[in-house]
Amino acid sequence: MPQDQDPTVERTLVLLKPDAVVRGFAGKIITRFEDAALKIIGVKMKQMDADFTRRHYFDLEERLGAEVYNLTSTFMQQGPVIAMVLEGFDAVATVRKIVGSTYPNEAPAGTIRGDFSHYSRAASTASGKAVANLVHASGNKEEAAQEVELWFDKDELHDYRTLAETFTY
């Protein structure tokens, strides 16, 4: 059921970060979302440049400082990312639950970050590197709408019905 027909159906952006791509986790991560009856309505691979990284992380420097922004920016530009728009009931919160805590060492087992990474804030600080946490997920509905619009044109988003929708919607 498309988002415009049911207010509980949401869209959210997920990025498989360069560490997820180079470690070959794309399929495993995508499966987690599909297993939760989230539908992929847009997907692409992109190499982020400095300008696009600034547009995506437009408020990161203000929120967390120049050092965090610079580490994150460098990390996100080191390899391609896979961007996806997922759609489903309460998609933003559902994706955040599946992904787990920002710091993988704090993420519970069963989450993407808890199962596939162990990096910590302390490791990031000690190494001077960004937190390698595999996935970016929109933080709230407003952020999701803004990020989806930044990453995807309307003609890149598809409306179709999955088999799971016949049972869940």
What are the domain boundaries of the chain? Answer: 3-164
pLDDT at 32: 98
Distance between CA 97 and CA 138 in Å, rounded? Answer: 12
Q: Would you state the structure tokens that stand for residue 157, as one six-digit string?
A: 């988003």
**Can you give the three-state secondary structure of 128-139, one letter per residue?**
CCCCCCCEEECC
Residues with active-site annotation: 136
User: Per-residue b/e over 105-131, b at no fewer than 16 CB within 10 Å?
Assistant: bebeeebbbbbbbebeeeebeeeeebb
> Residue holding tokens 């408020």?
59
**Bridge partners of residue 46, in order along the sequence:** 81
pLDDT at 5: 64
Q: Which fold has domain 3-164?
A: Alpha-Beta Plaits (3.30.70)
Distance between CA 130 and CA 128 in Å, rounded? Answer: 7
Report whether 130 contacts 72 (CB < 8 A).
yes
Distance between CA 121 and CA 125 in Å, rounded? Answer: 6
pLDDT at 29: 98
Per-residue pLDDT of the chain (169 residues; tens, 9 = 90+): 555 567 789 999 999 999 999 999 999 999 999 999 999 999 999 999 999 999 999 999 999 999 999 999 999 999 999 999 999 999 999 999 999 999 999 999 999 999 999 888 888 888 988 999 999 999 999 999 999 999 999 999 999 999 888 877 6
- pTM value is 0.92
Q: How far is CA 107 from CA 5, 53, 101, 114, 123, in A?
A: 34, 25, 5, 5, 15
> Residue holding tokens 């495993």?
28
pLDDT at 155: 97
pLDDT at 2: 57
